[in-house]
Structure 1
């Protein structure tokens, strides 16, 4: 579904990514792991066209989308939950969700307003509240719901549960498990290794803009040297 091939990217004259390569198949959950500043968010931004790649290729469903404008990439069926959430603070929960509604996966849309609110009962209770009046965890749920309302083929989450209360994190992990069970492909950045190991099929570890390890959850669980070298602060 998504293939990233020797991706180069950075900011101005500063190169951050030095040939990142990985792939995600239909229905797979894949994580990007690494310490802060290693290139995870830059990888997502380059995939989504938020920064222009300096080399390499990104293909989605067999089509080269390298360097296209973000709205064109999104129309291919990629939903992004960005770092920092970036909801519309002056719109209500319902207005935030409806604002992005689309059917980018084709066929009968899976994620309608009613289905999305059913997935997030907290948002259903606050559907008339302004985005700015929500807690951080509720805003993150809204950001996920907003991405789902595009009915994507691939969902990308950058820092899915960072800084959230434990009860909210648990609710979001349960939602992601539901999405996985339904066959939605997911690319995930998060630091909660215990939850990630239960959820994901494969992991891609990045160090200083390069892929240094890839493997399944079982392999990562059995590789303390990888966790100690590349993941622990």
Structure 2
């Protein structure tokens, strides 16, 4: 599905990505791991066509989804190809209510979409209870549920989550990890950024470790768990 090959990108004259290699197949869960400022979010922004229009650009390499190049594509074209993003900071529409947030992104391009309002409300019952509340009045955890629901309403072939559980209460984190496990069991492909190593080791099939804008290691959860030197060097764990 998604393939990045030696992807490089930057902001102005500053190089942020120096060579990212990554591949995600149908139904796989893959993580981007690394310390803060190493290029994980920039990688996601490059994939989604979200580098700033002034000064931010792809310098080289390749990024493709289902065989079609993503380089130079605007965000709406990337989304139309089947990539759904849960961005860092959630970025829900604060003046729209929950239901309006969900409807705003709804898409069922092939007539076989899994995700409808009822489906999202079954996944996150709290959103059904809050469906008439404006997005800006939700708690942080509820906003994250809404951001995930909004991305799913695009019926994506690949779901991308940047900092899936950052800053959330433990009970909300547990609920979101359970939802992601359910999505994986249903065959949803996921690219995930999160600092909770224990949770991502349980969930993901493979991991890509990023250091200074370059992918430096790729392997399975078992391989990462059995290599404390790797975790200490690149993750400080």
Q: 1:216 aligns with which of 216, 220, 223?
A: 220
2:33 corresponds in structure 1 to 33
CA deviations 1:88-120 (Å, max 9, x no partner) are 00000000001100014x241100000011100
Secondary structure of the structure 1 residue equivalent to 2:3: strand
Name stretches of at least 5 consecutive residues in structure 1 with no aligned partner.
none
Instruction: Report the 3-state secondary structure (helix = DSSP H, G, I; strand = E; otherwise coil) of the residue aligned with 1:232.
Output: coil
Per the normalisation by structure 1, the TM-score is: 0.98
Cα deviation code 1:13-69 (max 9, x no counterpart) = 100100111100000000000000000000000011111311111110011111200
**Preserved contact between residue 103 and residue 152 of structure 1 (Cα < 8 Å):** no
Which residue does the alignment assign to 2:60? 55
- Cα deviations by residue, 1:132-156 (Å, 9 ceiling, x for unpaired): 1100010010000000000000000
RMSD: 0.8
Instruction: Tell me which residue corresponds to 2:7.
Output: 7
DSSP-derived class of the 1:5 partner:
strand
SS of 2:19's equivalent in the other structure is strand
Structure 2 match to 1:42? 42
Consecutive unaligned residues of structure 2, counting only runs of 5 or more, are 52-56
2:93 is matched with which residue: 81, 88, 91?
88
Query: Helix, strand or coil for the counterpart of 2:72?
Result: coil
1:136 aligns with 2:140: yes
Match of residue 190 from structure 2:
186
CA distance in 2, matches of 1:103, 1:230: 40
Residue 99 (structure 1) aligned with residue 67 (structure 2): no
| TM-score of the aligned structures, taking structure 2 as reference length | 0.96
Q: Secondary structure of 1:55's match? A: strand
